[in-house]
Chains A and B, each alone.
Chain A
Amino acid sequence: MNNNTPSQLSRRNILRSGGAIVASGAVLAACGGASHSGSIARIGSVPEIDKLETEHVSDVVLLRTAMSVEKMVATIMKDSRVTSLAESSVSPFLAKYAAAHETNMSVLAPLVTARGGQVVNEPNAKLMTAYGENALNLVEEGKTAGDVLNLTLGLESLVAATYQYFVSLTNEAALRADMMRLGAASSRRAAVAAQLIRGGTVGFSPAINEKGEELTATLPSAFGTLSAVQVVLGPVNEVGTRSPISMDTPSLNSMLY
């Protein structure tokens, strides 16, 4: 005799509950977005958080940001902490370059207003906080005349990189050419500053000195780079080296919307 005890789980039950599980799982998956995956249930009252407005990087935003960068560079170059350290042979370059950046602002202003934007007459506050003020303080503390040219080279390289980067974000093709005209002028100024630091054809190529320190090169790379511009400024520390300051092109958090 075979006592075949009936199971509580019949085939029919398994099929039915299986279908229900798949269906409910699918509904839950559809309801949950990626942003909720790591959330933990809270107990008690939670303050409402106002969602930030979605901002878009339009051509006007790029132009306004470019104005703020030009103003920042002109401001730094005209700062007394820099000008007071500059050698007499370097001072004319500082004055000419600062004036060129102010002229660039007057080139950019009509491009901004023609697109319904408001012109900018202040240095980029975020970038000044991030590295501008720090650079000026280091120049003041270092009291080294060579820092003036190093800073000038860094700032001109930064402006050139900024315009190059903006080309990839600009919608209007004609505007890309306008921006690169300004960027190319900064590139030339950077090359001249590099030649003032390490002149002649020997200064074209990257090299290191006997201590293994990197020397300034007029042509450090084949293509324009978008990485942070490194500038060595300030006093020698206890280890005998000087800290490099890193200057980044404007990003989403430092653009003027």
Chain B
Amino acid sequence: MVNHQVDLPEATPSRRTLIASLLAGGAVAATAPFLAGTASAADESGPSTTAPPHRDSADNATLNAALDRESRMAATYVIAVGAASGDDKAALLLVHDHHVAYAQALKGYLATDASSASTQPLANPSGSIAGMARQLAALEEETVAIHTSNLATLRGINAASLVASIITVEARHVAALNVIAGTSPIAAA
């Protein structure tokens, strides 16, 4: 048996050279995504500013205080709902549910850093809807003021956004309850 092995007339690099060139190719392939990323980033980059953090554990104490306040607001509305009837009851239940939602949102944001919130009511509203609304509007006003002043100290942008979305609606609570309490609408806003 004869094997006719014909070698082509060309330079024949050693096996070591071939393996080295393959390794080099592999190394370039591995770094390609980084190079590409750098290239496109260089195209789109501009001056950068120090952005506030999305989340900061330094905010936890303030957020826990806010959670406590919302939990106590919800407890206060439980009493008011029990003392009301008809459309008034439905309206107060709606506002109660808002405060429950705020407490849940703050608790969810804090997660394992959430402390146990008080469920002690801030007041004992009773009597006519106008009287209860006046008392609740004052509490809402206080809550808005607390949250707004907290905004000036919150570092995390996500916590600030959450508190801002609460303030927006609690400010509506204040005005709406004041109107129900008998305040002139022009003076309520």
Contact indicator A2/B1 (Cβ below 8 Å): yes
Decide if B152 touches A30 in the complex (CB within 8 Å). no
Question: 1/0 contact trace for A194-233 toward B, CB 8 Å?
Answer: 1110011110110000000000001101111100000000
Please determine whether A23 and B148 come into contact, CB atoms closer than 8 angstroms: no
Known: A25-B29, A27-B28. A200 touches B1 (CB 8 A): no
Of the listed stretches A12-20, A69-77, A114-122, A240-248, chain B binds A12-20
B98 at the interface (CB under 8 A from A): yes
Q: Would B167 and A218 count as touching, CB distance under 8 A?
A: no
Q: Please classify the interface of chain B as helix (H, G, I), strand (E, B), loop, or mixed, using the class held by over half of its residues.
A: helix
B113 on the interface (CB 8 Å rule)? Answer: no
Q: In the assembly, what is the distance between CA of A163 and CA of B171, in Å?
A: 13
A199 proximity list for chain B (CB < 8 A): 179
Is there contact, CB below 8 Å, between A23 and B24? yes
Which of chain B's residues have a CB closer than 8 A to the CB of A16?
A: 13, 18, 21
Residues in A with CB closer than 8 Å to B26 are: 22
Q: Is the CB of A190 within 8 A of B160?
A: no
Partner-contacting stretch, out of A31-39, A125-133, A249-257: A31-39
Assuming the contacts A54-B46, A192-B188, asked whether A6 and B4 have C-beta atoms less than 8 A apart, the reply is: yes
Interface size for chain A: under 10, 10 to 19, 20 to 34, or 35 or more residues? 35 or more
In the complex, which of the residues A3, A8, A25, A30 has the most CB atoms of chain B within 10 Å of its own CB atom? Answer: A30
Contacts of B144 in A (CB 8 A): 184
| A residues less than 8 Å from B98 (CB atoms) | 219, 222
Establish whether residues A192 and B179, one from each chain, have CB atoms under 8 Å apart when the complex forms: yes
User: B188, A201: Cβ atoms under 8 Å?
Assistant: no
Decide if B189 is an interface residue (CB 8 Å cutoff).
yes
Q: Flag if A6 contacts B43 (CB, 8 Å).
A: no
CB neighbours of B13 from chain A (8 A) = 12, 16
Q: Find out whether the CB atom of A171 lies under 8 angstroms from the CB atom of B172.
A: no
Within the complex, which residue of A33, A183, A218 is in contact with B39, where a contact is CB–CB below 8 Å? A33
A58 touches B87 (CB 8 A): no
Which of B6, B8, B90, B151 is the one whose CB lies under 8 Å from A205?
B90
Instruction: Give the residue of B160, B176, B186 whose beta carbon is less than 8 angstroms from that of A168.
Output: B160
CB within 8 Å for A176 and B160 given contacts A6-B6, A171-B51 = yes
Shortest Cβ distance from residue B155 to the other chain A in the assembled complex, whole angstroms: 7
Tell me if A164 is interfacial: C-beta within 8 Å of chain B.
yes
Bound complex: CA of A201 vs CA of B186, how far in Å? 18
Q: Are B168 and A161 in contact (CB under 8 A)?
A: yes
Is A23's CB under 8 angstroms from B29's CB? yes
Residue ID in chain B nearest A53 by CB atoms: B46
- Minimal Cβ-Cβ distance residue in A for B88: A201
Are A173 and B152 touching (Cβ within 8 A)? yes
How far does the Cβ of A196 sit from chain B's closest Cβ, in whole Å? 6
Separation of A58 and B50 alpha carbons in the complex (Å)? 11
Contact A1 B2 (CB under 8 A): yes
B36 & A32 in contact (Cβ 8 Å cutoff): yes
In the docked arrangement, what's the CA distance between A188 and B189, Å? Answer: 5
> B173 at the A/B interface (Cβ < 8 Å)?
yes
Residues of B within 8 A of A (CB): 1-8, 12-13, 18, 21-22, 24-26, 28-29, 31-33, 35-36, 39-40, 43, 46-47, 49-52, 87-88, 90-92, 94-95, 97-98, 101-102, 105, 129, 144, 148-149, 151-155, 157, 160-161, 164-176, 179-180, 185-186, 188-189
30 A-B pairs (CB sep. < 8 Å): A12-B12, A16-B18, A20-B21, A20-B25, A23-B21, A27-B28, A29-B32, A29-B36, A30-B28, A32-B36, A35-B43, A97-B189, A168-B161, A176-B154, A176-B160, A176-B164, A177-B152, A180-B167, A184-B171, A188-B171, A192-B175, A194-B176, A196-B185, A201-B92, A201-B180, A219-B95, A221-B169, A222-B102, A223-B168, A224-B164
Name 9 extra pairs, CB < 8 A, besides A19-B18, A160-B168.
Answer: A4-B3, A25-B29, A30-B36, A31-B36, A56-B47, A168-B157, A184-B167, A194-B176, A223-B101
